[in-house]
Structure 1
Amino acid sequence: MIKTDFRHLSSRSLLSVSIASVVLGMGSFGSAVAEDFTLEEVVVTAQKRAESLQDVSVSVSALGGDFMQDAGISDMNDVAQHVPALTVSTNSSPWNTSFRMRRIGNEGNIPTFEPDTGLFIDGAFRSRSGLGLGDLVDIERIEALKGPQSTLYGKNVTAGVVSVTTTSPTQDFEAMVEGSVAEDSAYNVKGFINGGLSETVAGRLSMSYSERDHLVENVGAAGDADDLQSYALRGQLMIEPSDVLSIRLIAGAVQREFDGPVGDVEWGASAQAMFPALGAPITDNTLGNRKIDYGQGVNEFEQDSYEFTAIVDYDLGYASLTSITSYDEYDVVSTLVDTDQMGLDIIKFNDTTEGYSYSQELRLTSPGGETVDWMTGIFIYHNNFTRGEGDDQDFVLGSDINLLSLGFTGNLDPNALGQPGQYADVYNEQDTDTYGVFASATWNISDVMSLTGGLRYSYEKKDAEISNTSTALASGNIAALPDGLIGALVPAAGQQWKPSDSWNAVTGNLTLEYHWTDEVMTYLTAARGFKAGGYNLGWGGTAFADRPFDEEVVETLELGWKSRLLGDRLQLNGAVFYTEYTDFQSAAFKGLTFEVNNAEQVNNIGIEFDGLYLLTENITVNFAASYVKAEYDEYTKGSCAYGVTPNGPQAANGFCDLSGEDLPFAPRWKANAGVQYETQLWDGDFYARTDVSWVDDHIPSSSLDERHEQSDYAMANVKLGWRNASWDFSIWGKNITNQDYAVQYAPDNVLGALLQDGSQQVFMNTPAAAGATLRYTY
């Protein structure tokens, strides 16, 4: 591990030192530097046409490929350190990655529960945040659009959009290969080759491979957890048969196979008293030390996913016609050998999910720069999701279930929780069909003022099926579990349910934009968004009548600004906003099962800004901050934290009233700052970079359990290197202060739900790492 003199600083002081250095630097050098260097223009496609970042009336953060290379950004967790409005969290696998924008988002562990922040890759919507992205290699740009984007993007974007644009093929031949080595036996190889195949066809092939040793030590009999082995491959063709027509074909594949992360458990008093009598004494009970005690095995994770996108642009003269056709499919298997998270052979969970999606967007866009600029289009999307194979054994009781039963019943009935070999088959399927029609127009009233309005009609239909069976046997010895452990997951009578429903809405936005000078622009936006309802599929004893959840509606008002100051050397953008969610779809893990319901109202109010400053010709400074108060204004069906008695209007149904509480995973403040220095050395350039990010205290737990409060923390990354036109060598450190923090808390998987003794688990962040990277470009 890296040891530095920064370790004695608190997280607040560490960020203060960095920001103070930036401010002092701006004051010292701002009036003395030369005036012959300026910021480069950043082009984004936030409103589905190429525009300067400083001219687009949307709060958007854009990270270009060069910046990502300089800052050592390799995955979406790294991206979130540079975009305070974005939160990325992962627990048991990358497949469960979830995005939160402006603190709004949901659990990633429910495969049929769609996110509030939509992921788009090369303009194509992706149903899962873990789909289609391996290592971030050969990326041209990542844009984070903040706030509801339902008019142009439509599906599942009530919090925002993460848009990833990969690098297109060109006729110029170029190639790159890069290798990195780091602590924990980690290494990564990635590269690309690009060039013309004929006068009208260019191709590009990119790949990456990553491997890392385990980060979680198992003190039990089974192996360690949380290693990494991941492959990604992407091939592209750019076909340009004429000056007015281009066809871009993109095919990608991601394969992962490793021992996934697992929860680090702290057992409650009842479990601690029981384990020694079962012959399974607790050897480690420290929460958050990255040690587990699993006796049979850990989380065996496999993912195979594929995607194809075809982008056709045709210039009609009066407008351009764009077609985006996309198909993706995936097959994911996660085997929790020790689902119970103890050293005994109690229960195994084989979680198999697969699915496919196809979509078609047709868009007609005016050239721009006219009195009225317009855009109109249609969107069609189909998704099929399946969990379980219908004839497999998803939950299987192990050989020690009788031993655990004796512990529960005081040596009265060894079959109270079930018998070895009892199993449950879980089969869920859902088909989703989405249709949208949208139009947007901008009236350029004058050289300094414009008015933009947009409307979208959305229709969504879902057909679902639950067909769960089990061999559960009633014992009657435990009142809370009359059908034993398997029966708590799938009742002995089975579960057969085929719901179907549809939702539709008209959403839109209205934006007034005003340019005060050539350097300063402000905008005022009012927007309405929509997300369709759905169903709680999966297992558990939730009654069918309680499984549907309602649609989510969002309304927002935002005042933003864009500016380029100090002779075009300082870019300072920001926004203040107020957002109100009605029937916000809220998800929670309650132990044994997940559940989604609706919070009556969530209010989201905040301010955010980001900046880029060319301090001198050699020094560049970037900084950003986000303050958000995300609060349940009314939520009467919230999950009750451990030790909290159900209360409020829904107390009789076992719920707690969380009205007035901050949302989980919602720190009030997040901020980051970075400084890069570059100077000529030999026949190349020496460069050095430092980045610091800070996160305020918050509760990363769906039930808002006060035991799970995460205090504020800061993380710092450093990088030193030398490069020329061909070679780039760097040494770097991530999380150099070895800051530990909780990504997510939850009840433990099984036993805590049975004992109700507060047993809990935590998923921790990635610890400090140091490494070196060598890159060659031809």
Structure 2
Amino acid sequence: MTEGSTVPGAVATASESAESDGSNVAGATVEALTITARRRSETVQSVPLAVSVVGGDRLDGTGSFNVGRLQQLTPTLQFYSSNPRNTAVNIRGLGVPFGLTSDGFEQGVGIYVDDVYNSRVATATFDFLDVDRIEVLRGPQGTLYGKNTTAGAINITTRQPTFDFEANAEVSLGNLDYKQAKAAISGPLSDKLAARFAVSSTHRRGTIYNVTSRRYINEQDNLGLRGQLLFKPSEDLAVTLAADYSAQDPEGFAQIYVRTGATQRALNRQYAALTSALGYAVPSTNAFDRVTDVDAELNAGNKVGGASAKVAWNVAGGTLTSVTAWRFWDWKPQNDRDFLGLSIVAKSQNPSQQDQYSQELRFNRSWDSHDLVVGAFAFHQRIDTQGTEQQGVNASRWNINPSNALSNDPTVLAGLTALNTQWLKSTSFAVFGQLSWKVTDALTLTPGARLNYDEKSGFYERKVIDGQGVPVLLTDTGARRAAQLAVYTPQVSAPSFDDWNFTYDLSASYQLDRDVLAYATYAKSFKTGGINQNGLPTDAAGKPIEAAGAIKPEDINHFEGGLKTQWLDRTLTANLAVFRSDIKNYQATVSNGQLGVLRGYLANAGKVRTQGVELDSAYRPNARFSTYLNAAYTDAKYVRFVDAPCPPELSGGTVATGTQVPRAAGVAGALSPANCDVSGQRLPGVSKWSVALGAEANVPGDFLGKTGEFYVGYDGSYRSKFSSNPSPSIYTWVDGYTIANFRAGFRTPEGLNLYAWVRNAFDENYFEQLAVGPSNTGLIAGQPGDPRTWGVTLRAAF
């Protein structure tokens, strides 16, 4: 997709205007898009559900070519990615725990492409390819979709094969050596067989200069391919075969020095003293200079693809749909886990390979005053990971107490290597259904239910070898071995989990007027339990705590009410939603501050609550002007989490025991609490306020012998500050920021579009997220957001 473009009459996420050829200037209306959120075709305004919809033309028009860009249009969608694997996609603050990703639990936001569930969040980092529309469903989705999701779903529908020939092509050029090309072609192969093929390629130079490698890093290097065949022997039967492949191979994603903060570690073991002892200084203490000196190899090789067969058969007065799919994910990373030009962690990589298989059967039928959807879903995946983490020549001085003479011997830790082998098997089965009953012309009741079974089993083994290739064992003795075991500890674990869950929901909607729909929903939902797949916390003897192997399912009570309205002869659309979700046994990330021991694992927090208000609105008084405003207020907090990991300012000292009283935050050498009570504090990654605002105006005209219209457009987004650490820290609040995007060009009704665009026009300095450096030294690293980018795009349809 392009960095910036336009669509005729681009309007709110909740709805989108019909295209205009410049006629009927006074009679324009905001047309409600047709969606399939409830597995049947309906207009957005008739669905008693909080859903944001973005058409494919609007994705092109606003430069929203991936989920990260999509969040600028849908304020309650949050997207964070330190690399494709460590990606979080949340809605209303819920989805996956913020921080390092584990394969042993489920995501709370389901990602579907043409009805196929994508089980790993890494698949969300690719460019959208030949998309017709995207529906962002907010709130629990379990009685209609294949995989139960507690926070919502992103339902992506691609453009389908056609029996009429059509084609389009697009080329974009911009600064930072930006190049993007897209093309799609569709048409008949016979009177019963049609095909469609699409390709997209994106390249952009990195935004951060690495003085060590003398290269720009954190680049974009994406390729996407999709092919489809549609066999339609009759009006009652359609078979669609699809295959896709996407690849990324950038040198990235580095997180760079942002700041330091005082911890409770001994002063001579904090960042300033350690770097001074090693004679080291970062090339810049201002992250927005966009300079780093990371010295480890960087790579983010990411490949995703698969094949599917979808059969839709009109039978027994309804439609029977079968969706059979196989998908793969290959991840080949290389990271710099110390974030510096020092060789502390010399190598860090955890390549993974996943295969998933899914089968969904669904029957839809409508009659009289009833609509019915019933279905069954089966899913299986296996993930294999081979991890390597290795200490460098500066590791001894960085990790061993300076009072210990071994800290001056680089050979103690140099070459110390942890070799991790793990696999995960996950299987689930479900039956689900939803009935919509039109009690009167105005009142509709919609109950739904789901029965779900989940089973997970895993294996994790960490072997440790020293720099001479000799195995390091828990039974080894001596000061040298003790120093090595403090960094990497051998471990074997085989956690497992299985459980049944029954959930249900009930919605009531009432048509107050032709253009006013009120609705209310209650949902009893769950997110299945999981396992700690990346190793377990250990006891005093260094043995894994087996009880921590499995985590409990989340238990959710969700309440929602809303209004869907249109005014002023349907030139104004305004949809309002109010929600509250109470979650027991919230699955939270627990971080370990010790370098290389166990970076993070999952545990259950007592209770979490998220509540708020959302507005989606659009106004199109005539065919020459349109505007939209989408806004959300979200209050997401830990209600009860008394044994949470402590933030860095309360970590690093000797852990208090018994009646010992921990000292104040940031006091060097002080006693540190074993854990912290973060009850009442905000969930990570959630801004209280988020807004998307845009407008477009056009005038008719002629250009290069063509008749069409000139246009200008603006798309802006605002996010208030948010916490970037699972336990809020004074060092990891990300300040609020505003992004302003502009576009201007000329387009014709035949599909020719030439325009210039600029994103982040005012060159706002902002962070996408911040991270706490290892070992409680006080180092804070982060990812600066993109600087101002600009370019030009030419698009043509045939």
Structure 2 length-normalised TM? 0.87
Tell me which moved more, 50-59 or 404-413: 404-413
1:55 corresponds, among 46, 52, 68, to 46
Partner of 1:117: 109
Partner of 1:462: 456
Partner of 2:604: 598
Distance 1:707 1:622, change over 3 A: same
Unpaired segments ≥5 residues, structure 2: 1-10, 12-23, 262-266, 467-471, 539-544, 663-671
* 3-state secondary structure, aligned to 2:128: coil
Structure 1 length-normalised TM? 0.89
Partner of 2:779: 759
Distance 1:387 1:35, change over 3 A: same
Partner of 2:201: 209
Partner of 2:184: 192
Shift in Å, 1:498 = 1.7
* Separation (CA, whole Å) in 1 of partners of 2:513 and 2:339: 63
In the TM superposition, structure 1's runs of 4+ consecutive aligned residues that sit over 6 Å from their partners are: 645-653
Partner of 2:341: 342
Shift in Å, 1:709 = 1.8
Partner of 2:683: 663
- Contact 1:451–1:510, Cα closer than 8 Å, also in 2: yes
Whether 1:577 aligns to 2:583 is no
Partner of 1:394: 388
* 3-state secondary structure, aligned to 1:54: helix
1:538-562 C-alpha deviation (Å, 9 max, x unpaired): 2475433323211111111111111
* Separation (CA, whole Å) in 1 of partners of 2:33 and 2:716: 23
After superposition, where does 1:151-190 map in structure 2 within 5 Å?
151-153=143-145, 155-190=147-182
One-letter identity of the residue aligned with 2:763: N
* Separation (CA, whole Å) in 1 of partners of 2:335 and 2:298: 5
Distance 1:512 1:292, change over 3 A: same
Shift in Å, 1:211 = 0.9
One-letter identity of the residue aligned with 1:332: W
Whether 1:280 aligns to 2:292 is no
Shift in Å, 1:132 = 6.7
* Separation (CA, whole Å) in 1 of partners of 2:217 and 2:536: 27
Partner of 1:679: 699
Partner of 1:8: none
Partner of 2:564: 562
Shift in Å, 1:231 = 0.7
- Contact 1:634–1:658, Cα closer than 8 Å, also in 2: yes
* Separation (CA, whole Å) in 2 of partners of 1:524 and 1:204: 41
One-letter identity of the residue aligned with 1:306: G
* Separation (CA, whole Å) in 2 of partners of 1:228 and 1:437: 41
* 3-state secondary structure, aligned to 1:77: helix
Tell me which moved more, 196-205 or 537-546: 537-546
* 3-state secondary structure, aligned to 2:37: coil
* Separation (CA, whole Å) in 1 of partners of 2:580 and 2:36: 24
After superposition, where does 1:308-327 map in structure 2 within 5 Å?
308-327=307-326
Shift in Å, 1:712 = 2.1
* 3-state secondary structure, aligned to 1:365: strand
Partner of 1:522: 518
Whether 1:42 aligns to 2:33 is yes
* Separation (CA, whole Å) in 2 of partners of 1:351 and 1:483: 25
Partner of 1:16: none
Distance 1:381 1:678, change over 3 A: same
* Separation (CA, whole Å) in 2 of partners of 1:342 and 1:475: 33
* 3-state secondary structure, aligned to 1:70: helix
* Separation (CA, whole Å) in 2 of partners of 1:604 and 1:590: 26
Distance 1:373 1:758, change over 3 A: same
Shift in Å, 1:234 = 0.5
After superposition, where does 1:603-752 map in structure 2 within 5 Å?
603-644=609-650, 654-682=674-702, 683-724=707-748, 725-748=750-773, 750=774
Distance 1:230 1:676, change over 3 A: same
- Contact 1:552–1:585, Cα closer than 8 Å, also in 2: yes
One-letter identity of the residue aligned with 1:364: F
Ranked by relative contact order (alpha carbons within 8 Å, sequence separation 6 or more), the top structure is 2
* 3-state secondary structure, aligned to 1:706: coil
* Separation (CA, whole Å) in 2 of partners of 1:190 and 1:45: 26
* 3-state secondary structure, aligned to 1:78: helix
After superposition, where does 1:103-114 map in structure 2 within 5 Å?
103-105=93-95, 106-107=97-98, 109-112=100-103, 113-114=105-106
Shift in Å, 1:223 = 4.0
Shift in Å, 1:757 = 2.8
Whether 1:423 aligns to 2:417 is yes
Q: Percent identity of the aligned residues? A: 26
* Separation (CA, whole Å) in 1 of partners of 2:62 and 2:740: 11
One-letter identity of the residue aligned with 2:84: P
Whether 1:777 aligns to 2:797 is yes
1:224-265 C-alpha deviation (Å, 9 max, x unpaired): 421121111000111101110001111100111111121112
Shift in Å, 1:98 = 1.6
* Separation (CA, whole Å) in 2 of partners of 1:369 and 1:115: 35
1:135-154 C-alpha deviation (Å, 9 max, x unpaired): 22310000110011122225
Shift in Å, 1:409 = 4.4
Shift in Å, 1:337 = 5.2
* Separation (CA, whole Å) in 1 of partners of 2:288 and 2:641: 30
* Separation (CA, whole Å) in 2 of partners of 1:74 and 1:569: 28
1:526-576 C-alpha deviation (Å, 9 max, x unpaired): 111111111222247543332321111111111111112110111111111
- Contact 1:340–1:347, Cα closer than 8 Å, also in 2: no
Shift in Å, 1:291 = 2.3
* 3-state secondary structure, aligned to 1:615: strand
* 3-state secondary structure, aligned to 2:564: strand
- Contact 2:254–2:336, Cα closer than 8 Å, also in 1: no
Shift in Å, 1:398 = 3.1
Tell me which moved more, 58-67 or 258-267: 258-267
Shift in Å, 1:303 = 1.5
Please report the RMSD computed on the Cα atoms of aligned residues, expressed in angstroms.
Answer: 2.5
- Contact 1:589–1:747, Cα closer than 8 Å, also in 2: no
One-letter identity of the residue aligned with 2:766: Y
Whether 1:440 aligns to 2:440 is no
1:670-703 C-alpha deviation (Å, 9 max, x unpaired): 1111101122211112121101111112212222
1:304-325 C-alpha deviation (Å, 9 max, x unpaired): 2211121110001411100111
Partner of 1:377: 375
Partner of 2:358: 359
* Separation (CA, whole Å) in 2 of partners of 1:524 and 1:404: 57
Shift in Å, 1:213 = 1.0
- Contact 1:647–1:656, Cα closer than 8 Å, also in 2: no
1:100 corresponds, among 78, 90, 98, to 90
Partner of 2:21: none
